[in-house]
Amino acid sequence: MGSATLYLTLALMNRHAEQPGAKRWLEASGLQQLVQRTQWPHYYAKPQVGAHYTRAVGLPVLGQQRFSFTIISRTTARITLAGAMNLDEPASYSVDESGKVLFELNEPTRRLLRRYRTRLRSIQYDAAGDHTTITICAPLIPPIRVRLDRTRR
């Protein structure tokens, strides 16, 4: 089932109270049950494989820093840092229904962040805007949110 069909089905599901014919058609076709079984909002809220998100920012204490988040597969992403901190490591990830990216950093990544007394607090994916937001906690300053825009389709 293509994304256009899913979109149409969801649109009809949202309007079935206004149009009884649409409700009967959805019940007869079985599409409503299929969409509910596949939990379409959860499925749709994940970034596509091959997507690349990046941003360069000037950070207090650390200076100029480039952040990149690349989706390698459905369960693996690559986190790249260039600047004061240099890193190019894969990380296991998943996305929950709210768009929060749950990730597990490997030991070299954790070691580098500890050296700078910095940590990645969270990564959030926004499906509507197709961007990610990384929250960084550096020493002596409040958490910083960096929005990474998609650069590659």
Q: Give per-residue pLDDT as tens, 56-109.
A: 998 777 789 899 999 999 899 999 989 988 989 898 988 887 888 888 888 888
Q: Are residue 18 and residue 91 in the same domain, yes or no?
A: no
- Residue pair 143/121 in contact (Cβ under 8 Å)? The answer is yes
Question: Phi and psi (nearest 5°) for 13?
Answer: -60, -40
Say whether both 89 and 31 belong to one domain: no
Residue 26 domain boundaries: 3-44
What is the pLDDT at residue 46?
80
- Please state at what angle helix 20-29 crosses helix 31-38, rounded to 10 degrees: 70
Q: Is the pTM here over 0.85, yes or no?
A: no
DSSP-H helix ranges across 39-88: 40-44
Q: What is the pLDDT of residue 128?
A: 84
Q: How confident is the model at residue 17 (pLDDT cuts 50, 70, 90)?
A: very low
Domains identified in the chain, total number: 2
| Residue 77: both structure tokens together | 């992403």
Q: What percent of the chain has pLDDT over 70?
A: 69
